[in-house]
Structures are given as C-alpha cells and as structure tokens.
Structure 1
Amino acid sequence: MTNSTPSTTFIRDLYARMLLTRIVDDCAWRLHEQGYIDFVASCRGHEAAQVGSAVCIEVGKDFTLPYYRDLGVVLTIGMTPYEVFRTYLQMHIPQTATDADQELHPARRGEPVLHWGYHKRNTVTGPAPVATQILHAAGIAFASKLRKAPIVTIAYCGDGATSEPDFLEGIRFASLQQLPVLFICEQNCQTDADIPSSSSCLKDLPLPEGLTHQRIDGNDVMAVYMATRSAMEHAREGRGPVLLEMYVTRSRAGSQAYYLSSTLGRNDPLSRCQQFLQEQDMWDDEWAKKLYTRISAEVEQAMQDAMRDTQPPFSRRGDRAQP
C-alpha cells in the first residue's frame, strides 16, 4: 500500500464502492444465468483498478471513455445500479421476439458489447471496435487543449486493445501534441502467481517519447488511487499524456462472502483493501456486515425495478411470463 494514508472515511468509501461494483456484477451474472440478458463482461478482480482511478475524475468536467468491462468506473462517476441494469436488459432480444421487435432496437443486433454512455457525467459511449476509444480520447483532449480548458480526458482499455493500430496511433498523437489525457490499460494476469512477475502487455510496443508510462498493482486500490491522482495532476498541468498499466487478476463471479477475507484470493481487491483497513485499525466487522446488507438490498431492489420497467412478457428465453 502507501505510506501516505488518507482518512478512514475515504478508504472505507473506496471499499464500499468496490463492494457495490462486486454485488452489481454478481447480480448481472445472475440475470445472465436465468436467461434475462445475453452478455456479461465481468469486472470481478478489476474493482480496485476501476474504482481507485475513477474517484480521481472531476465528474461533469473531465471526460471519461470507459471500455465494456468498466462497470466500476461508471458506477463510481454516478451511474446508478438501476441505470446499469436497464443498460444490460435493454440489450437483450428474447427468443420469442418478432422481426418487428428487433427492428425497433437495431443496436441490439450483432456482437453484444456494453456501450456505456452517460452524457450528464461526460461519459462517452464506447464503440464496438476495440481500441478506437483511444483515438477518440486523444481527439477530445486535443479540443480541450485548443480551448485552453483545464480538462483531463481519461480513456480505459483492456490488454487486448494494445495490439490494435488505433491504440498506438492514439498514444502517439497524444504524445506529439502533449495532450491532457490519461490512458489506463487493465491487464489481466491469469493467476495470483503471475503477479507481479507477468510481462507487460506493452513490452513489444515502441512507446512514443513524451508519454509517461507506469505499471501499477491494479489489485491495490490505494496504489491505484495515488498513481491516478498524480497522473491526473500531471496531465491537468499541461505536462503531457500518461499511460498507466494496471495488472489485475480477473476471477469468476459467484461468491457471496464479500467481507470474509478467508474466502477470497490473496489478490482479490476487496480482500486487499480489508487487510489494509485492518492493519490501520480501521476495519470493523459490524460495519462491514451492515454495509453488505444495505448495499445488497439496494442493488436487489434496483434490479427488480429495472426488470419491471424494461421487460416485456416474453423477456425470458423460451418462456412467457405468467400473468
């Protein structure tokens, strides 16, 4: 972790935001398993990288370009669980839907990808092609620089995006123009044993001059927060673009024991944050249990409300809802 420790309230808030992300993600998986939605790109294991970075964004001022797995980012900058579930549910085309139903929702056809968008928080809807958001972020940052606005654009991607030409062209342009932009790459390491020994997903790329690059333990929410805060200040002060490579360990959804570290992997973001809180004498079991109970109830209600408001009678695969 870090030697410079923020307040207990702030760190507990980070933990709560990661817990919210985990519970929403698991509920989305539940909807998928029950046939209500077609596609889920789990962010389990990415919570620290997403929440720890997104809390540094000046919401409504800075621009955010998330990628399809960035549930924790959109929740942190203001999207509600209800809005998240509506996004999932509105993508689904029931098997019993008619051609006319599908024509009403042409965006649902083709490869299923979550296009997070939230205009009132300056969140730019991501395209389906991988890595093109990097180019879009460079363009937005260029416009901000021309307008002399103290705005930072932050763009997220997965390690698969780094092999695309759009990625390299985007960071090259940002470096050449010394743009106020932060790129965050969430690199998935297959197992705990891979961290931090795994090789960088950028090792074969010729990173341009003028780009500040740093590797971060993406399972450590405090390390992510401190690195992102510094990077945002760097970009906002006109010192050029920053690329933060955050290595994470993606894991399967399903566990309900969120606040019991003994049930989580050693690099699980929630477990790591809990351990840090315990070391700093900031952890309280009763607080954690009440937090889990409250967030679970709120998310469950949001999911039920979203289903009520979006699902037609034929919404479940192969079934019709009973009257």
Structure 2
Amino acid sequence: MACCAWRKNVFRSCLNTAGGSRMELSAETKRDMFWTMLLARRLDERAWALHRQGRIAFHISGIGHEAAQVGAAFALKRGYDWVAPYYRDLALMVALGYTPRDFVLALMGKREDVTSGGRQMPSHWSLRRANLLTHSAPVATQAVHAAGIALAMKMRKDDKVVLTTIGEGSTSQGEWYEAVNWAAVHHLPVVFIVENNQYAISVPTDRQMAVNSAADKACGLGLPGVKVDGNDLFQTYAAVSEAVDRARSGGGPGVIETRIYRITPHSSDDDDRTYRTREEVEENKRDDGLLRTRSALEREGG
C-alpha cells in the first residue's frame, strides 16, 4: 500500500511520475514558452562571457534548468500568485517579467537594479511587480517565507497560490522540512518545486539523500510528491498546473521534483572538473530541455 494512500484528497499515492499532458496549450503559448527559454539561455551565456572579460564579479548559471522553470512559471497566474525563488532561477524570472536590462543591471551592481539597487549579489532575485520575494543567501529560507505567505492567504481567504523553488541539496536543510511540514499540517496553498540538477555544488544526489527522489520526502510529511522529467517542458507544465489548481481550490500543498542536469559549473567560482567528467556533461547536453522543446515544436510544425 502506498505510504500516503490513506489521504482522501491527495494523489492516490504520495509519489507519482507525471505524464506528458500538454494541458491544451495553444501553438502561440508553446512558442512563447520556447522563446522565454531561449532568451534565458542567451542571457546566461552572455553573463559567462562578461565574467570571462572581467566585467562582472560573479555569476550563478541556470543552463539546463530552463524547461523546468518556464514550465512552472506558465502554470501560475503571473503577477497575481506569489513566488519565492532560489538563486538559479533566471528562466523563471524571465518568464515572470524580468527583462534583459533588469538582469544586466543586477549583474553589474548598478543603482537602477530593480532587485536591490545594486546592493545584493547577482542571482539574489526580487521583483515587486511580479509578487516575487527578495531571495536571501542562506539556502532553504525562502521555503519558510513561502509557507508564511500561504498561511496569510488562507487566513484572508484569498485564492492565490505561492510557488517556491529550491535545489535538491537544500532539501537537507531544516528550514525546508519545517516549511513543508507546516504547510501540510495547515493545508496551505503552496507548491514546493525541487529542481534536482544532480549536484549540490560537488555532492551527487545519492550522497545527499537516502531516497531515490526529493519527492519521496513528501511521504513522511503527509502531502503528495510528484517526480517529473524536468527536461520536458510540457510534462513539467502539466504537473505544476495540477498542483497549483489543487492548492488554489483548497486541496493543500504538494512537492514536485523536476529531474534535470546542471550543465555548467555550480558558479563562476567553481571548477566542476574536480568532481565530474567531461563525458558525463556532454552526454547530458544531448538531453537538454531547450533542444528537446525545439524538436517537439518542429515536429508539430510550430
């Protein structure tokens, strides 16, 4: 018997693997999603170039995360729902209205930076016009903030949802467990996304957790966990849409793990050659969500 099968108002099992439903997306929306992914990729690549030129001090890349992030963003009522992101969420930010100019101003610490007026490190996001919280450097703290906002929404009887993202390594932090447990106990309208890129800096997933998936961790806390192929834009969109709709209608929180691969080093200060091979990276590049989305749209004539 599945460990959470006793719950009547959640998934039949605490752990499911989502299918590839496209949720009736129009051709125009699919193209918009792909364009958003491509823009985020080009901005990310430009940031690496600026760092190599000595024009910026630091960069955290999201290359390889684009399909998972854009799929999640398009499942929200953007500008209405709330988002508590983590530092690798450039594509999510772009999907929520963060412009190329916003990004470059933050990279260079300019006064006009909408994130913090140039006072925060790059990738410490914030976007007031999109209901997007200021990101804090200590990992997993955004999960607690998301649970608190969701509690306020429930008390106010709002129909808004909070989405918060995190890396799989940060699910080892106490704040993540506290937030997920609090959300489950109080049946809060919050969706926890775990972007599992298979490395917490240099630590592989099998040394980070004893279970097969971060979604498994939801079982012991009494809420549904779903595992998706994060390189499949439309599968991610379908899974997050279902979780968001359930949370909005009073069905409570959920955890979704998007399994992806971090193609670049952890940050501009990391040398990933010390803990993984070039062959491994090249093999995973062939499964890049950007390439897969382009191929899917070409097959559809989009």
Q: Same fold (TM over 0.5)?
A: yes
Say which one has the larger Rg: 1
TM-superposed CA distance for 1:252, in Å, is 3.0
2:100 alignment partner in structure 1 = 81
Q: Deviations over 1:35-74 (max 9, x none)?
A: 1112111100000001111112212211111101100111
1:207 alignment partner in structure 2 = 220
Q: Deviations over 1:173-210 (max 9, x none)?
A: 000000000110100136xxx9xxx931455676311x
**Structure 2: distance between partners of 1:5 and 1:203:** 29
TM-superposed CA distance for 1:271, in Å, is 1.0
**Structure 2: distance between partners of 1:106 and 1:20:** 23
1:140 alignment partner in structure 2 = 149
Match of 1:160 among 147, 169, 174: 169
Q: Does the CA contact (< 8 Å) of 2:194 and 2:257 recur in 1?
A: yes
- What SS does the corresponding residue of 1:90 show, helix, strand or coil? coil
Q: Which amino acid aligns with 2:234?
A: M
- What SS does the corresponding residue of 1:274 show, helix, strand or coil? helix
Shift in alpha-carbon separation, 1:264–1:150, aligned structure 2, 3 A? same
Shift in alpha-carbon separation, 1:206–1:163, aligned structure 2, 3 A? farther
**Structure 1: distance between partners of 2:286 and 2:24:** 22
**Structure 2: distance between partners of 1:281 and 1:59:** 28
| % identical equivalent positions | 37
- What SS does the corresponding residue of 2:109 show, helix, strand or coil? helix
- What SS does the corresponding residue of 1:38 show, helix, strand or coil? coil
TM-superposed CA distance for 1:137, in Å, is 0.3
Shift in alpha-carbon separation, 1:81–1:6, aligned structure 2, 3 A? same
Runs of 4+ in 1 over 4 A off after TM superposition: 105-108, 202-206
Shift in alpha-carbon separation, 1:207–1:28, aligned structure 2, 3 A? farther
TM-score between both structures, scaled by the size of structure 1: 0.72
1:228 alignment partner in structure 2 = 240
TM-superposed CA distance for 1:107, in Å, is 4.4
Shift in alpha-carbon separation, 1:274–1:156, aligned structure 2, 3 A? same
Question: Structure 1 residue 274 and structure 2 residue 294: aligned?
Answer: yes
- Aligned residue-pair number: 252
Question: Structure 1 residue 131 and structure 2 residue 143: aligned?
Answer: no
**Structure 2: distance between partners of 1:166 and 1:264:** 31
**Structure 2: distance between partners of 1:60 and 1:3:** 23
- Please provide the CA RMSD for this pair: 2.6
- What SS does the corresponding residue of 1:52 show, helix, strand or coil? helix
2:263 alignment partner in structure 1 = 251
**Structure 2: distance between partners of 1:281 and 1:91:** 42
1:9 alignment partner in structure 2 = 28
- Flag structure 2 segments of 5+ consecutive residues without an equivalent: 1-19, 112-116, 200-204, 206-210, 266-282
Q: Does the CA contact (< 8 Å) of 2:90 and 2:123 recur in 1?
A: no
Match of 1:22 among 30, 33, 41: 41
Q: Does the CA contact (< 8 Å) of 1:181 and 1:235 recur in 2?
A: yes
Q: Does the CA contact (< 8 Å) of 1:50 and 1:70 recur in 2?
A: yes
**Structure 1: distance between partners of 2:239 and 2:125:** 24
Shift in alpha-carbon separation, 1:172–1:29, aligned structure 2, 3 A? same
**Structure 2: distance between partners of 1:58 and 1:245:** 21
**Structure 2: distance between partners of 1:30 and 1:180:** 40
1:72 alignment partner in structure 2 = 91
- What SS does the corresponding residue of 1:172 show, helix, strand or coil? helix
Q: Does the CA contact (< 8 Å) of 1:154 and 1:183 recur in 2?
A: yes
Q: Which amino acid aligns with 1:252?
A: T
2:278 alignment partner in structure 1 = none
**Structure 2: distance between partners of 1:205 and 1:154:** 16
TM-score between both structures, scaled by the size of structure 2: 0.77
TM-superposed CA distance for 1:114, in Å, is 2.4
Match of 1:47 among 52, 66, 69: 66
- Flag structure 1 segments of 5+ consecutive residues without an equivalent: 93-104, 254-262, 283-323
Shift in alpha-carbon separation, 1:151–1:106, aligned structure 2, 3 A? closer
1:35 alignment partner in structure 2 = 54
Q: Does the CA contact (< 8 Å) of 2:215 and 2:255 recur in 1?
A: no
TM-superposed CA distance for 1:243, in Å, is 0.7
TM-superposed CA distance for 1:32, in Å, is 1.0
